[in-house]
Structure formats: structure tokens, C-alpha cells
Structure 1
Amino acid sequence: MTARPRLALVGDRSDRVPAHGKLHELIPHFGVEVDWLPSATVTEVIADYDGIWVVPGSPYADQSNVLHAIRTARTRDIPYLGTCGGFQHALIEYTRNVLGIHDAEDVQYDADAGTPLIVPLSCSLVGETAPLHFSPGSRLASVYPGCESTVETYHCKYGLNPAYVDAILASSLHISGWDSEKAPRAIELPDHPFFIGTLFQPELSSSPADVHPLIEAFLAAVTRRSQQSL
């Protein structure tokens, strides 16, 4: 019997996080083996998974372990999806370890951070829906064939500090989704098998009978990696 692909959900489960309850409903329909890993339990074995999804719920109990999971996905070509907190922490990991800005931080962890990379949004997106515009030719755009934009569901108060947008734009980490005011809402690594972070939460607009196309695309990448490793 062929083993099913293995997916790690990284995050500290809480009834206060709407995405966590929604994921509980969706997981039986993913068609992969899923382990939910609290941030404190992430170890080197994270590299053994076929996919890593850092789920909402920032600030995490162990930020360093979450960043380790993201770096593992990035450097070992493991399919990665980060939603809300997973988007924010993908930015932190990349800025620290690739751009060399070692004090890049989310102000939820350190209000006096030398490089406040993740800061409160000018307008809270808790419980909001908003337009999302794609960068042409991006992997994210390919998830929505024939569309230049869509409407997505958010539940977030923090995002990328506008002061650091140009640094990201000059890097190999592409901003692939924008809101109507040109604020970044999604990022990706084009040369990676699958590495996407979104401030929006596709799990919130999914149902067991209608899983969001971004999640489906991610699960397909997880399955491909599993098959390639056989």
C-alpha cells in the first residue's frame, strides 16, 4: 500500500481562532495525512513532511520554531502555504535569513523592534472581505485562471510595514497579490515548487464540498512531492 502524503499544520490551536475550527472541518477532505503541530513541538523532523502549512494564530508560543519550519520548507523545496500568521512569518524568515536584516520582527513580539517588519494594518481586516488583485504571470494568478482579481476573506490586524515593501520588491520573493490600495496581500517564491503566503485566509471561505482553489493547488503540490520521493 502506498503511503499517503504527509502534511504538517504548524500553529497553536485555539478555539478563539476562527480558522482553526474551519480547518478541523476541512482536514478529513484533504486526502492527505495531517499532523497538527503546536509551535513548541516543531523539531528537525519537520523536514520529513511532504508539505508545511503555517496556520493563523500569531503570535505563536514558540516563534523560533515557526521560523525554523518556514526556513526548512524554503530551503528544502517542501511545498509551503502560510495564511495570515504564516504570511507574516514567511516575510520575517526571508528578511532575516536572505536579506540579512537580522532584527526584522513582528511588533506583537517586540514593540520596540529595530526593524518593525510586521505592524498593525491601517484598517483592521478582522472578519472582512476585500478585493485581491494578482500580479500577472504569478503562481497565485494561475490558481484563478482567466481572472485578474477576486474577493477574499480576512481575519487579521497585522501586515507588512509599507516602509519595507521596496526591499521585498527588489528581492527574489515576489509580491503576487495586492489590495485595491496597492498594499501587499500575498507573496511567493517563483523558483520554488510551491511557496505561497497570503494575508487572506482561504480556509475561511472553504467548505468540505468546496475547498478553496489555493488549498487545492497546495495539496496537489504536497501529493506531487510525496510521489517523487517514492
Structure 2
Amino acid sequence: MTAAQGGRMTRVALVGDRAPHIRAHGHIPPLLAAIADSDDLLLDTYWVATCDVDEGTLKEFDAIWLVPGSPYRDESGAVEAARIARVHGIPFLGTCGGFQHALLEFARHECGFPDIGHAENTPWAEEHLIVPLACSLMAWEGVVHVQSGSLAEGVLGTDLITGRYQCAYGLSSTYRDVLQQHGMRWSGVDGDGEVRIAELPDHPFFLATLFQPELSEGDESAQAITVALVRAAVAHKESRPVPVGPSA
């Protein structure tokens, strides 16, 4: 009997507002399906709109991927998805807008900035954690230097990759140090030292990238991030108690 025939289903929540014009949304499900086939897994991927995020439901998943597509319909739902993954130890991946909102969640709930904003979503906010990039990264590729000894390096197997971007917003340098002091690790930067990968070392698997590994077709290093998320989800599933059915 194969693992897929006899194992329990591994469930991955794709949190985002699914839309046919967003390239990543078309790439992610087949990418996950290919990994499941390669690893002989029972993998269920389920889309959760940002307006439907609910802690009781989402914490039952084995992994949460906060996918690209910002501005999201419900910023609070995107932020809540990152919080649920962080506080419940659920494997998490945030890419592009997911990166931005994972940092927003951390700043609001761990760093004492409850009202800090995202310039794309709330341009009127007094403080912005996520701000327009000096140079837009829409349809852009760039080198990312990966920090030695980080989760990102262990996942990627290299200290240098090329990231593919579809974004125009990133982390404000004003708040970089304070997030780091509260436990966020900047594990990847571009040639100018700007943050492109973030992670939480005390979490089982919490990784966020401003670039989109799901668009890196043929690039095994970048796609290794998705493989690692799936394998972390399997480990999370196996750490859960086996459900007990009704007595015969």
C-alpha cells in the first residue's frame, strides 16, 4: 500500500482572493499537485477568501499559504491568516502580498504598532510599515543573497538565487530593526541590502518572500520553497493525534 493509498490527507489552505488574471493563482494548484504526485501524498488544497478567514476553521489546516493578489478584498482577513499560522505553529508561506501582510501582522501584534498601515491599502494612515518601493519590481527578476544558517538557506540549498517579482511595495527601512529585535529574521536581501525574505526562527516553518517562487518555472532552487512547505505540512499533520472514529 502506498502512502497516498493509506495515509491521512494533508490539507493546505490557499488564502487569497482567487482571480483568473493573477498568474500566481493559476500556477500554485498544479505546482502543489505535482509535488504531491512526486512525493506520493494525499494533498488537498483549499482556497479561502480573505473575507472568509476564520480561526476555528483555518487552524485545522496543516499549512497556510498567503498567496499574492493584494490589495486583498479584506486586509484584516489576510493579516489574521498570518496571525493564526504564527500563534498555532502552523507551517506558513507568504509570497508577494503574503510577505507584506505577514510583516504587517507581526508589527501590529508583536511589536506594539496596532495601527500601522500598508500604503497601498490605507494611504491615509499616520504610519506605514509597507511602502512604495523606490523602484517598482513589477515583472522584474533580481538576485537575492540568502543568509547562512537560515531556514531559507536550508530550504533553497544555496546562498544566492534569482527571484521573480510582481510588486511595487516593500518593507519600510524605518521599522526594520524593531521587527528584528522582536524576533523576525531577515534571511534574504537584494544587492542593495533590501529585505526580500523573512522568517521566524522559533516557529516550525514560517517563511515569507517578496518574490514569487511559484512563478519560477524550471528553477528548482526557487521552487524548493514550495516543496519545503508541503513537507512541513506533512510533518504537522503527522504530529496531530489520529482522529478516533465511532465505536463499532
What range describes the TM-score normalised by the shorter chain of this pair?
A: over 0.9
Q: What is the match of residue 215 of structure 1?
A: 226
CA contact (8 A) 1:168 1:175 kept: no
- The whole-number CA distance in structure 2 between the counterparts of 1:110 and 1:139 is 32
Q: Is 1:17 the equivalent of 2:22?
A: yes
Matched-pair identity in %: 39
Residue 210 of structure 1 deviates from its aligned partner by 9.3
What are the equivalent positions in structure 2 for 1:46-195 lying under 5 Å apart?
46-145=58-157, 147-195=158-206
- Give the aligned residue type for 1:149: L
Structure 1 unaligned residues grouped into runs of 5+: none
Output the CA distance in 2 between the equivalents of 1:143 and 1:82.
Answer: 15
How far apart, in 2, do the equivalents of 1:148 and 1:24 lie?
27
Alpha-carbon distance in 1 for matches of 2:87, 2:138: 32
**CA separation of 1:173 and 1:55: change in aligned 2, threshold 3 A:** same
> 4+ runs of 1 displaced by more than 6 Å?
none
Q: Give per-residue Cα distances to partners, 1:17-75, cap 9 Å, x unaligned.
A: 11112124324224211001111122120010000000000111111111111111000
Q: Over aligned residues, Cα RMSD in angstroms?
A: 1.7
Match of residue 34 from structure 2: 29
Structure 2: where are the runs of 5+ without partners? 1-5, 37-42, 243-248
Q: Which has the larger radius of gyration?
A: 2
> In the alignment, is the contact (CA less than 8 A) between 2:161 and 2:221 conserved in 1?
no
State the TM-score, normalized to the length of structure 2: 0.88
1:5 counterpart residue number: 10
8 Å CA contact 1:205, 1:212 repeated in 2: yes
Aligned residue pairs: how many? 229
Distance 1:16 1:121 in 2: 23
SS in 1 for 2:134: coil
Instruction: Call closer, same or farther: CA 1:210–1:130 in 2, change over 3 Å.
Output: closer
